[in-house]
Amino acid sequence: MTRPVRKAVIPAAGLGTRFLPASKAQPKEMVPVVDKPAIQYVIEEVAAAGIDDVLIITGRGKQSIEDHFDRALELEHHLEAGGKHDEAAEVRRLAQLATIHSVRQGEPLGLGHAVSVARQHVGDEPFAVLLGDDIMIDASVLRAMLGVYEQYGRSVIALKELPREEMRAYGCVRPEKVDDDLVRVAGIVEKPEPHEAPSNLAVMGRYVFTPEIFDALDRVQPGKGGEIQLTDAIELLRAEQTVYGYVFEHGRYDIGKKVDYLRATVEIALARDDVGPEFREFLVHLVQREKLY
């Protein structure tokens, strides 16, 4: 019997240098995609996958993340008094999505370090990690990963095929095929040069870990870019226990990257019932006017 995954950790303490100037005085995780901050999509995904305990790893200047998921009584009263009941319900719903905790990373020493500060909260349990600037179109990937964890009782990381030239921006695995969408991780390296990349499978921002990842993180030395890399801890972990990779194809956006942010905004807006139809019409006109097609 595997222990159920009850907790999710969302690292959101990075400096967001790729998204400047928007990220200068506000967290990039709070940049809106249509009308919701990016991190709200992440927490809705966690909730849709049945996890209701969330720990956000924050840092300096990230207070607005905690405020966004807290009660806002004055605003709720104001909306109710003005007859805006739907809006009031939506504001209340945000504070009920999950039980949200936060802890500060202190210094952004790298993603691995951010995960390591979750140790006290997580304890000796399996847990999920979702990057606060990575959004998924729905919770299907996380649900499937939790299914793999339930079956094998081992850590699972999300993987996606990308062109080899893009590997220098990601963790990259050497896979051993288990099934159509499942591999065993036989090796993992952070941001390899394309000619050194062991495959074209890149690590995306979703993980399910056994608690042993914390011991591995304790042993990791600063790696690429002088940061404590989560990838290096996964390499240590997989030497001791199997780590699986769940391969998916679509629906992930790294909103810390400007072009991905634009793609997310367009695709998510098109899929919405309220703004979608009007936005589609606008896009069709735009494409014709600019002779894009």
Structure tokens at 115: 């995960």
Find the helix packing angle between 38-48 and 140-152, rounded to 10°: 40
Q: How far apart are CA 172 and CA 247, in angstroms?
A: 12
**Chain position whose Cβ is nearest to ligand UTP:** 14
Tell me which residues touch ligand UTP (CB under 6 A): 11-19, 29, 57, 105, 108-111, 113-114, 131-133, 256
Angle ∠(100,170,102) on CA atoms, nearest 5: 15
- Least distance to ligand UTP from the beta carbon of 278, Å? 32
- Identity of the residue, 135 or 197, whose beta carbon is nearer to ligand UTP in the bound complex: 135
- Identity of the residue, 11 or 88, whose beta carbon is nearer to ligand UTP in the bound complex: 11
**Nearest partner of 11 among 100, 149, 95, 105, judged by Cα:** 105
Per the DSSP assignment, residues forming a β-bridge with 293 are none
Q: How many helices (H) and strands (E) does the chain have?
A: 11, 13
- Identity of the residue, 21 or 83, whose beta carbon is nearer to ligand UTP in the bound complex: 21
- Identity of the residue, 91 or 132, whose beta carbon is nearer to ligand UTP in the bound complex: 132
- Least distance to ligand UTP from the beta carbon of 57, Å? 5
- Least distance to ligand UTP from the beta carbon of 178, Å? 27
- Identity of the residue, 16 or 126, whose beta carbon is nearer to ligand UTP in the bound complex: 16
The answer to whether 126 touches 2, Cβ cutoff 8 Å, is: yes
